[in-house]
Amino acid sequence: MSGILLEERPFDGVALLRLNRPTVLNALNLDLRHALADAFHRLDADAQVRAIVLAGGERAFCAGADLTEYVDATPTEIMERRMDRLWDAIGACRKPVIAAVRGHALGGGCELAMHADILVAGRGARFGQPEVKLGIMPGGGATQRLTQAVGKFAALHILLRGEPFSADAALAMGLASEVVDDEQVEARALQLAGELAALPVQALRLIKEAVLEGMSSGLQSGLRFERRSFQTLFATQDKHEGMRARLEKRAPNFIGS
């Protein structure tokens, strides 16, 4: 694992990825973007990993793109970087992803956090999409993901003004899942990851896929996917174990099949 992206296995079933460019507030350069994509591809294929926590540092989750790689870039150079493939490696991960956000989550950093499924923010976290103040616009999905998360009017208020906003504001508008004290962010994210890692793998995967299908293709497509997935889960051993355990008033022992 690259020194700019650290990986830990704090306990069974959980992987922790940590952005590690503290001198530039974890700004996303191409090396870090490729490291993230490679890590998510690998962890998605690793049967031992059931949930992923994505974290930064105390001062910043991620302060955005590394502008030194953009200031003189041409349109052709930007296209050839194929950033969509690097973002998609995270967005297409089939396993639950939890963002543990402390400090700055701005621009590409806010977009990175929005690729997660659950977002735990520290009270001192600051979110925002300041691209308009640089003469550009978001390019990592914010115009779509932010709008889906908070609605048109709140999203455009953020995107058009480029002003940062607090964790409490993020929670109120539906961008954050939880807000906790700064020093509890990673502990809470890991606690949630541990809870998810103990649940049925296939049910978690299909729930996530159903939500994303509906968001990308619309209500009717999402409902069709949900019905098929619901039916499919009746063939799993974990379905039998979960229902038997509930009837027998005991804790289930899910095996992931």
For residue 192, being part of any structural domain is answered with yes
> Of residues 64, 103, 108, 109, which has the active-site annotation?
108
The structural domain count of the chain equals: 2
pLDDT computed for residue 256 by the predictor: 87
Mean pLDDT for back-to-back runs of 10 residues, the chain (257 residues): 89 97 96 96 97 97 95 93 91 97 98 98 98 96 96 98 98 98 98 97 97 94 96 96 96 92
> Of residues 39, 63, 109, 111, which has the active-site annotation?
111
For residue 253, being part of any structural domain is answered with no
For residue 26, being part of any structural domain is answered with yes
- Looking only at the bridges linking them, the beta strands covering 97-101 and 118-122 are parallel
CATH code where residue 241 lies: 1.10.12
Residue 12 and residue 139 in one domain: yes
For residue 241, being part of any structural domain is answered with yes
Residue 96 and residue 207 in one domain: no
**By residue range, what is the domain housing residue 91?**
5-197
- Report the distance separating Cα 158 and Cα 173, nearest Å: 11
Q: What is the 3-state secondary structure (H, E, C) of 200-254?
A: CHHHHHHHHHHHHHHHHHCHHHHHHHHHHHHHHHHHCHHHHHHHHHHHCCCCCCC
Residue 220 and residue 135 in one domain: no
Tokens at residue 25, please? 């507030």
pLDDT computed for residue 1 by the predictor: 58
Task: Give the C-alpha distances (Å, rounded to integers) separating 72 from 34, 67, 78, 135, 183.
Answer: 21, 9, 10, 13, 38
> Of residues 35, 39, 65, 197, which has the active-site annotation?
65
For residue 141, being part of any structural domain is answered with yes
**Residue 77 catalytic?**
no
**Residue 65 catalytic?**
yes
For residue 240, being part of any structural domain is answered with yes
For residue 188, being part of any structural domain is answered with yes
**Residue 131 catalytic?**
yes
**Residue partners of 174: CB distance under 8 A and separation at least 6:** 149, 150
Residue 142 and residue 241 in one domain: no
